[in-house]
């Protein structure tokens, strides 16, 4: 690919070549246009300007935005298979794209993003779970310069004044697709090469934020790219706050009564990032891959998880005595497991609670059994399956009522403390702080220094502290038998 520096040669101002229309997509309420912009040896004509060298720095600032990573956000239940299979290349695209003619190409659509935007303030109208990866210095040449980048199409949504450009990045050759020059200005993506005083070359990535549509209309512009070679090994996981374009009530007359028909795209609808992340943690604990999820967390999110674990009062999470729970409640939890698996929304859980109450309500005559004498492997799967579903409830009040009536917190606390796996204990501590899960008010933030969680930055752990999940995994704890009748 030919490199273009800041001193771009002047271009005569003349009407650009005619854009190439690929096809029209006819929908009920609008017609979408797939096309490719006109181009010449100097520039792509996706911006409404014919570029002259001295104008380019100003136009770059006007039309483009820097990025240093790419990301893809999915609804919770669509993200789960990606993590399960550890692959982003599970399905061919179902979007309006010429890639429909290439069904063997499978993957997710990634968009330009910034690493520093991933974290507590991250929001999306699309879903709850984000997969992102950066272009490390040592990978840039391999990922972009040494791979084929094909300009698939521009897709105009006239009714929304929005346009999207799409690319295929691959090691394969597709002679029928136009190659894209990432160093030529005026297109959806532009890479600027620069050298510092030491003659060391660096690259800055830009994507187009405003473009001119096929009909000449100024539009908001986004970029999407798909990698034929699976980028999963580079992907990091984070949770985002879902800010849907429409309200839940606009989809259903009753927000609490969600139909099974909309289960997959309604779970965690409008949920804050911490609720979606707690649900992901419960799912990973149930499926025995918490190590994978924890190690894949984006650094910004992992720091928040560590802080949550640090500020969780372990005296409330883990009691000094070996917990004892009603033997009938445990038996019911196992017996109702098939019903738990069928629960797809909050209303289903409320009905499960009613069924549970009709079969048994604890009283003074109940026989309590120590968790030491319970087959934990037998009850843990239905327990965590139910916990995951309770976390997804819309109402924190309903979550609290379900926890109090169906799920003794002591089961998950005792089990994962017993295993002494730090990542699991941090997940349990994070789940505990979710509103409606904990049975006590949120504790005040600890004044402990964050280095307590990171032994590489301190001489050792302070085993005298009395709050923070980590202190339990590094300090001896003697469980006393509960002598409850």
Residue 262 phi/psi, 5° resolution? Answer: -105, 20
Q: How confident is the model over 410-460, as pLDDT tens digits?
A: 888 888 887 778 899 899 989 998 999 976 544 444 333 332 233 333 333
Q: How confident is the model over 284-328, as pLDDT tens digits?
A: 999 999 999 999 999 999 998 998 878 777 666 765 577 888 889
CA distance 348 to 342: 8
Nearest one of 104, 79, 448 to 283, comparing CA atoms: 79
For the chain, how big is the Rg over CA atoms in Å?
Answer: 27
Residue 176 has pLDDT above 80, yes or no: yes
Measure the CA angle with vertex 438, ends 481 and 257; round to 5°: 125
Sheet holding 189-195, edge to edge: 64-67, 201-208, 189-195
Q: Which residue has the tokens 């499978």?
A: 106
More confident residue, 314 or 28: 28
Class of residue 474 by CB neighbours under 10 A (exposed 0-12, middle 13-18, buried 19+): middle
**DSSP track, 15-27:** PPPPPEEEEEEE-
Helix 346-359 vs helix 396-406: angle between axes, to the nearest 10 degrees?
30
For the record, the structure tokens of 445 come out as 């933030």
Residue 58 has pLDDT above 90, yes or no: yes
Q: Are 390 and 402 in contact (CB under 8 A)?
A: yes
Q: How confident is the model over 187-205, as pLDDT tens digits?
A: 999 998 887 777 777 788 9
Of 36-45, 61-70, 207-216, 470-479, the range with the lowest mean pLDDT is 470-479
Domain edges within the chain:
20-241, 257-481
| Residues contacting 117, CB < 8 A, separation 6+ | none
Residue 468 has pLDDT above 80, yes or no: no
Average of per-residue pLDDT values in the chain? 82
The Cβ of residue 213 has, within 10 Å, a number of other Cβ atoms equal to: 22
CA distance 322 to 410: 9
* pLDDT the model gives residue 140: 60
Q: How confident is the model over 130-175, as pLDDT tens digits?
A: 999 997 666 666 667 778 999 999 999 988 899 999 999 999 999 9
For a pLDDT cut of 90, what percent of the chain falls above it?
A: 56
Query: What single DSSP character describes residue 58?
Result: H
The Cβ of residue 251 has, within 10 Å, a number of other Cβ atoms equal to: 15
More confident residue, 71 or 463: 71
* pLDDT the model gives residue 150: 97
More confident residue, 266 or 406: 406
Residue 283 has pLDDT above 80, yes or no: yes
* pLDDT the model gives residue 459: 32
* pLDDT the model gives residue 266: 77
CA distance 100 to 295: 34
The answer for 7, left when phi > 0, alpha when psi is -120 to 50, beta otherwise, is beta
Question: pLDDT-based confidence at 372, cuts 50/70/90?
Answer: confident
Of 9-13, 50-54, 338-342, the range with the lowest mean pLDDT is 9-13
Residue 338 has pLDDT above 70, yes or no: yes
* pLDDT the model gives residue 137: 64
* pLDDT the model gives residue 318: 64
* pLDDT the model gives residue 16: 54
* pLDDT the model gives residue 82: 97
CA distance 188 to 135: 18
């Amino acid at each position: 690919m030919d490199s273009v520096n800041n001193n771009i040669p002047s271009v005569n101002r003349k009407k650009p070549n005619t854009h190439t229309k690929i096809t029209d997509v006819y929908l009920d309420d609008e017609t979408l246009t797939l096309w490719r912009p006109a181009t010449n040896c100097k520039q792509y004509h996706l911006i409404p300007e014919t570029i002259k060298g001295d104008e380019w720095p100003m136009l770059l600032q006007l039309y483009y935005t820097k990025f240093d990573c790419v990301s893809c956000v999915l609804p919770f239940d669509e993200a789960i298979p990606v993590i399960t299979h550890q692959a982003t290349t599970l399905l061919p695209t179902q979007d309006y794209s010429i890639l429909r003619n290439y069904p063997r190409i499978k993957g997710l659509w990634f968009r330009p993003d910034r690493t520093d935007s991933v974290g507590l303030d991250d929001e999306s109208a699309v879903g709850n779970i984000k997969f992102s990866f950066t272009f490390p210095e040592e990978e840039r040449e391999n990922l972009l310069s040494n791979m084929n980048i094909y300009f698939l199409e521009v897709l105009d949504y006239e009714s929304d004044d929005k346009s999207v450009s799409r690319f295929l990045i691959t090691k394969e050759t597709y002679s029928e697709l136009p190659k894209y020059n990432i160093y030529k200005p005026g297109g959806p993506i532009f890479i600027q090469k620069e050298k510092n005083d030491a003659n060391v070359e660096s690259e800055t990535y830009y994507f187009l934020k405003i473009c001119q549509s096929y009909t000449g209309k100024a539009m908001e512009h986004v970029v999407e790219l798909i990698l034929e070679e699976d980028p999963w090994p580079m992907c990091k996981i984070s949770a985002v706050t879902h800010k849907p374009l429409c309200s839940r009530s606009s989809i259903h007359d009753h927000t609490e009564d969600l139909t099974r028909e909309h289960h997959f795209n309604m779970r965690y609808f409008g949920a804050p990032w911490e609720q979606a992340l707690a649900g992901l943690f419960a799912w990973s604990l149930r499926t025995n891959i918490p190590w994978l999820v924890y190690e894949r967390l984006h650094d910004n999110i992992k720091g928040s998880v560590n802080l949550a674990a640090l500020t969780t009062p372990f005296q409330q999470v883990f009691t000094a005595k070996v917990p004892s729970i009603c033997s009938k409640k445990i038996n019911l939890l196992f017996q109702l497991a098939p019903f738990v698996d069928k629960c797809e929304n909050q209303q289903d859980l409320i009905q499960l609670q009613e069924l549970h109450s009709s079969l048994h309500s604890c009283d003074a005559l109940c026989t309590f059994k120590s968790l030491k004498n319970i087959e934990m492997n037998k009850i843990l799967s239905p327990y965590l399956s139910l916990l995951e579903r309770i976390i997804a409830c819309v109402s924190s009040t309903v979550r609290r009522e379900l926890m109090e009536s169906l799920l003794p917190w002591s089961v998950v606390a005792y089990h994962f403390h017993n295993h002494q796996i730090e990542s699991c204990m941090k997940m349990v501590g994070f789940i505990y702080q979710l509103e409606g899960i904990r049975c006590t008010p949120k504790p005040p933030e600890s004044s402990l220094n964050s280095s307590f969680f990171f032994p590489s930055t301190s001489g050792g752990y302070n085993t005298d502290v009395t709050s923070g999940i980590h202190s339990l995994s590094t300090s001896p704890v003697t469980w006393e038998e509960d002598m409850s009748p």
